[in-house]
Structure 1
Amino acid sequence: MTLYHIHLVMARNKEFPEGNVHRGYDIHAPLDADGHLDKAAWEKSPSSSTVMRFWDGERSALGYLVHHPKGGWAFDYDPADADDDETGFRLSSHIFKQGEYISIRDHGEDELHTFVIDAVTQVN
């Protein structure tokens, strides 16, 4: 399985008109030839798909990219606590390439935050 490092940074918004490179995610995940999350590869080794959330000097949160039975992808920081999951908006259909935008719902919030893919590089 080939993993990719996907670096997301907060896109422009009302609070940060220029975006915020100090808020985002570093994701290691398998991608297919078109740049979509590769569920078949992920199923072979789900623990290889990790996420690190960094947020303006807060302690980084480490977790896993998980696929829920209903078909959506999420970031899970504690498998024993379903309330900590952060869900991505239609991540199954997104193409992960530099310059694309992705929306993620922070746990405990109704609001989606938009991030831009800053870089996608092959890990192995």
Structure 2
Amino acid sequence: MLHHVTLHLARSKQFPEGSPRHGYVITAPLDGQGHLDWEEWLERRAHCLVRRFWAAEAERQGVLVHRPGGSGGATWMIDYNQGRLGDEEAGYHLHQHRFAEGEYVTIADDDGKPHTFHVVSVIPAEPGRTGEHR
């Protein structure tokens, strides 16, 4: 089932309290335990959209992709321009992490610098509104 997952930047040296002004809203297929569902992604990948918000920077729109390689045999990534290599942001072991409120995930920016994010909400995508971000 598709869900809208909101991630906020977790506490770090630069942001001791974390930051709700830095993060993502990801529409992703999750199984009953909150793990990314590769089989559903194959069927519904056109609806797996990502909105990146980063304080004063312009928002970026992308898609959630699953690529061969990496640990576990594949890597979940955010791709902002599917026609150009090098703008992707890779998730760190996203196939193992639960997307549930209170959990943490790590995503490396397009320069490869990892950032840890706090899962602040996981909301089922409403029928007829799949892929929209609020």
Is it true that 1:56 corresponds to 2:55 in the alignment? yes
Distance in 2 (CA, whole Å) between partners of 1:82 and 1:74 is 12
Number of aligned residue pairs: give it: 122
Aligned letter for 1:31?
L
User: Alpha-carbon deviations, 1:36-58, whole Å to 9, x = none?
Assistant: 00100000121110100000021
Distance in 1 (CA, whole Å) between partners of 2:65 and 2:24 is 15
Is it true that 1:30 corresponds to 2:40 in the alignment? no
Is it true that 1:116 corresponds to 2:118 in the alignment? yes
Aligned letter for 1:101?
Y
Shift of 1:92: 0.5
Structure 2 unaligned spans of 5+: 127-134
* 2:132 aligned partner: none
| 3-state SS in 2 of match to 1:108 | coil
* 2:75 aligned partner: 72
Which contiguous aligned blocks of 4+ residues in structure 1 show a shift greater than 6 angstroms?
none
User: Alpha-carbon deviations, 1:14-50, whole Å to 9, x = none?
Assistant: 0010001100000001100111001000001211101
Aligned letter for 2:109?
D
Work out the percentage of aligned pairs sharing the same amino acid.
41
Partner of residue 95 from structure 1, selected from 93, 98, 123: 98
Distance in 2 (CA, whole Å) between partners of 1:57 and 1:121 is 26
